[in-house]
Structure 1
Amino acid sequence: MLRTALKPKWIVSLLLALAVATGFVLLSQWQFERSADEAAPVSTATETVVPLTKHFEPNQEMFGTVVDQLVEFTGTYVEGSTILVEDRLNNGQKGYWVVTAVAVDGAPDDAVMPVVRGWSATNDWLAKTADPEPQGTVTVEGRLLPPEAPVDEHVDTSNVGSLSPAQLTNLWDRVTYSGFVTQNQSSTEGLASVVVGPQPAETPINWLNIFYGVEWVVFAGFAIFMWWRLVADDYRRQQEDALDLAAWQAEQAQQAQPTDLAPTQDRPSAKE
C-alpha cells in the first residue's frame, strides 16, 4: 500500500488534504479563542464609598449584590477584642491579620464589625502593643468582604485560623455582622496595610463556540481520513486487477496446451 500512496497523484492529494486540515484546525482554534468571552469590566459602583449602615445590616445574609463594596463607618474599638488570624500573605510573606471588633455607630443591637486593621509578620504584636484598642471614635474605610468558614471547632482567645464572624460572635459575645472589612490604610503603628482590590468578574464560556471548535477538528480528521480511504480503494483495485489478470493468464495458458490424441486401433493383419 505504501507504493500506492507514493504515487504522484496521491502525494499531491495528501498535500491538498493537509492544507484543508490545517485550515480546519485554524478555524477550530479561532472558535476556541472566542469561546471565552471577555470579562465584564469592574463595576465602578463597588469602588464608590457608601455608608455601611445603609448598605448592609447585621443578622443579614451577605449576597453578591453587597459584597466587595467600599464602605465607611464610624465607631469605637471594643476593648479586649483584638485577635490574630493566621496564615495571611503579604507580598508573598506569611504572617497574621490583626482584627478588632468595632462597635458601629447607628447599627442595630449595638452590632460590631470585624475590621482587619493591618498585617503583622509575627504573632507577638499584641504582646508588644501597650494599647491595642485605642479609645475614642475611629473612622473606618475599607472593603466589605464575605465571611470565611471556620477551620477549627475550638477558638483561641488570641489566634484563629479563619475570619469567621459566626465564631467571633461567641468569642466577643456581641451581635456581629456576617462579614468583615479590610481597612484601606492602616493607621496602627507596626502594621502593614492589607490591600484588597475589586474582585475580577467571571469570564463566561460560550459553549456554542466550543461545539463549533470541536466540529472543525472533526472535519480536519475527516479530510485526512478521506485521503487514506481513497488510497486504500486504489490499492484494493490494483490487488483485484492483479488477481483477475493472474486468473486470466492461467486460463489462457490452460487453453494453449495441445489436446491429447485418441489411441489408434490395431489394423487387421493380412492373414485375417
Structure 2
Amino acid sequence: MYRFLLTPRWWVINVFTVLAIPVCLFMGSWQLSRFEARVETHNKQQDQASGTEDTAEPLRALLPVTDRTAGRPATATGRYDTAHQLLVPDRQLGDRDGFYVLTLLRTTDGGKALPVVRGWLPGDADDKADIAKVPAPPAGEVTVTGALQASEHQDSSGVRATGGLPRGQLGMISAASLVNLVPYGVYDAWITSATAPGALKPVPPAVAEGTGLDLKAFQNLGYTGEWFVFAGFVVFMWFRLFRREAETARDLALGIILSKTPVPTPAAPAAPGDHAADEAADDAERTRSPSATA
C-alpha cells in the first residue's frame, strides 16, 4: 500500500521534508539565542546602573571586545602618555554638549597602549577657555578601572568624521584613528574611567549595538516563533499528503476506481408533430445501417 513512497515524486517530498525541518529548528534556536543574549546584556546594563556590576577583570582577559564583554569593568596598569592627550569633540552627556578627554595609557605588561577616556567636560573643544579646564593626567604608574568599550566607526551615532579636525582632536575612538597620531601600537578597544578628576565628569559606558531589550530584540523573539511554526507546517503538510496518497492507494487496492469517462447525456424527446426531428432521426438511422437502404 505504501509503495508510492518509493516513487520519484515522493523521494523529492521526503528529501525536502528531512532537510527543511532541521533548518527551521536551527534558525528558530539561533533567533532564540539572540534574544537570550540581549536579555543577558540588558540585565548586565541594569546591574551596572545600580552599582552591582561584576568585579573588574584584567584588560587582556576581556579582549577582544564582544557583545558579552562590552561594558564590563576592566583594569589596566601603566603610565599616561602626557604628550598625546586628545580631545574628542561633539559628545553629549545628558542634554549638554561637550567633549571627551582621552589619554593613552602605556601599559606595563609590554602590550599596546590603551585609550582611556578620563572624563567629559562641557563646552567647546575649540574654545581655549574650555580647554584650560582640562586637568593634567597623573604622573607615574597608575591603575585605571573603567568600562570596556569597542572601537567606534564612522557610521556610529554621534561619531564625527576624523578628517578636518584641528590638531589635538580626535573624531572617533579607534585604533584606526590613532595609528597615525602615535608612534606605537594601540589596542582596538578603549575604557571610560570610573573616576574623573577635577572638573571632568565620568562618562557612562555606551550600549553596544545589537544589545539590550529594544525593538530588534522582540523581533528576534517573533522570528523564533515563526521558524518553529514553519517546522510544524512542514510536518503537517507531509502527513496530509501522505494520508491522501494512502487513501488513494487503498481505494485502488479495493477496486474502487472512479471512471473518468464522461457519461453521455440522453437526448431530449422530440415534441409531437416535430417532423424535422423525426426526419433527422431517420437520416441518422440510415447512416448507421447502410444495409437498410439496399
Q: TM-score, normalised by structure 2?
A: 0.50
1:51 to 40, 58, 63: 58
SS of 1:82's partner is strand
Instruction: Map 1:2-41; keep pairs closer than 5 Å.
Output: 40-41=39-40
How far is 1:51 from its partner? 0.9
Which residues of 2 match residues 232-243 of structure 1 at below 5 A? none
Distance 1:47 1:197, change over 3 A: farther
| Matches of 1:127 and 1:197, distance apart in 2 | 24
Q: Give 1:189's aligned residue.
A: 198
Report the counterpart of residue 150 of structure 2 in structure 1: 146
* AA of the residue aligned to 1:105: T
Moved more, 73-82 or 147-156: 147-156
Letter of the structure 1 residue corresponding to residue 169 of structure 2 = N
The higher radius of gyration belongs to 1
Structure 2 gaps, min length 5? 1-31, 155-160, 230-294
1:73, 1:139 within 8 Å by CA — same for their partners in 2? yes
Cα pair 1:97 1:118 within 8 Å, conserved: yes
Identity %: 22
Query: Kindly tell me: are residues 201 and 129 of structure 1, through their superposed partners in 2, closer, same or farther at Cα, counting changes over 3 Å?
Result: closer
Q: Is the 8 A contact 2:88 2:101 kept in 1?
A: yes
Q: Does the 8 A contact of 1:155 with 1:167 survive in 2?
A: no
Which residue in 1 is equivalent to 2:118?
117
Instruction: Give the number of equivalent residue pairs.
Output: 171
- 5+ long unaligned stretches in structure 1: 1-34, 213-272
Would you say the 8 A contact 1:74–1:139 is kept in 2? yes
Check if 1:105 corresponds to 2:108: yes
Shift of 1:160: 2.0
**Larger relative contact order (CA 8 Å, sep ≥ 6):** 1
Q: What displacement does 1:76 show? A: 0.8
Q: Is the 8 A contact 2:87 2:170 kept in 1?
A: yes
Distance in 2 (CA, whole Å) between partners of 1:67 and 1:89 is 20
State the match for 1:82 in structure 2. Answer: 85
Q: 1:185 to 1:205 in 2, by over 3 A?
A: same
**4+ runs of 1 displaced by more than 6 Å?**
none
- Partner of 2:83, secondary structure, is coil
Alpha-carbon displacement from aligned partner over 1:54-110 (angstroms, at most 9, x marks no partner) = 333xxxx544344332101111110211111111111211110000001112142xx
Question: Which amino acid is the alignment partner of residue 177 of structure 1?
Answer: Y
Range moving further from structure 2, 88-97 or 194-203: 194-203
Q: Write the letter of the residue equivalent to 1:192.
A: K
